Amino acid sequence: MVDTPMQASDYSYSLVIPVYNSQDVVGRTIDAVLDVFERAGLRHQVVLVNDGSRDASWDVISERARSSPHVVALDLLRNYGQHHANLAGMREATGDYVITLDDDLQNPPDQALLLIEKAMDGHDVVFGRFEQKQARGHRRLGSRVISMINRRVFNQPPGLAVSNFRILSRDVVERICSARTAHPYITGQALMFSSDPADVLVRHDARPVGTSNYGLRRIASLVLTILFSYSVFPLRAAAGVGFAVAGGSFLLGLFYLVRSLFVDSEVPGWTTIAVLLAVLNGFVIMLLSMLGEYVVRTLDAVSTVSSYHVARRVSS
């Protein structure tokens, strides 16, 4: 029996767009998305999630939501971060497939059709692999670091590129939405909850207006979130350092013990004792701090009902 090829027109699509301080460009992004999907003749829904913007972004997207039957706007109570905003949008989305993209036109909406075409081959998650990423050096370096962590923590397959420009099947979206975590990381969860991920080459344009809101602080925060919320790597690394320090201290103590049996010592040894206490106590404090971080995140996971709160919802 021959399987019937999947047709893009048989499915509906929800495009989730986190919005943060993008009043000058988000309107153009909405227009471009609607134009592409209307021309392609695909059933679509655009979910815009205002993530605590300090400018007039909410005014722009709420007005579009009132005037267009295809647009829904959510206003989060405060700034929670891109992955929380994506999760809020996914829970609002009704499409058979969900596409996530940025609000600044760096993910050209027409390239979403390439994601859809690849998904029609039967893949439940398809990431955009950028031909050439138009980003600053720290963004590219941060992407490489996060990619290394993804391979270790989420078993990202060799050769698979991941990005925030992706399409997810309804099954994967439901698994992500039902996961109980205070620190969502959509890319890693998509890898965990998919059975057949893939990527496709897409274009990445320069931001037409303004600069990226994703600085070094946000990249560092994301790295720490991944490591402490989804991995025991920091704890094991600290344990490894602890064993190394303990082994070195044992050898040093053995050396001084043997030396004292054959050589009369005229040095009181206060310096050695002080150094050893400083090293060992410093490591103990570091280890306790790491354990405390895991305890705090565990408490967040078991006590938090929702990792975000929606203040307003607007649709036509």
The full set of domain ranges for the chain reads 11-230+307-315, 232-303
- Supply the Cα-derived Rg of the chain in whole angstroms: 25
Counting as low any pLDDT under 70, the low residues of the chain are: 1-3, 133-140, 142-143, 210-215, 246, 253-254, 256-257, 259-261, 263-272, 274-275, 278, 300-301, 303-305
CA triple 24-29-32, angle to 5 deg: 135
SS (H, E, C) the chain: CCCCCCCHHHCEEEEEEEECCCCCCHHHHHHHHHHHHHHHCCEEEEEEEECCCCCCHHHHHHHHHHHCCCEEEEEECCCCCHHHHHHHHHHHCCCCEEEECCCCCCCCHHHHHHHHHHHCCCCCEEEEEECCCCCCHHHHHHHHHHHHHHHHHCCCCCCCCCCCCEEEEHHHHHHHHHCCCCCCCHHHHHHHCCCCEEEEEECCCCCCCCCCCCCHHHHHHHHHHHHHHHCCHHHHHHHHHHHHHHHHHHHHHHHHHHHHHHCCCCCCCHHHHHHHHHHHHHHHHHHHHHHHHHHHHHHHHHHCCCCCCEEEEEEC
**What integer pLDDT is reported at residue 136 of this predicted model?**
57
**167-181 per-position pLDDT tens digit:** 999 999 999 999 878
**61-116 per-position pLDDT tens digit:** 999 999 999 999 999 999 999 999 999 999 999 999 999 999 999 999 999 999 99
Which top CATH class is 11-230+307-315? alpha beta
Q: Is the whole model's pTM more than 0.75, yes or no?
A: yes
The answer to whether the CB of 106 falls within 8 A of the CB of 138 is no
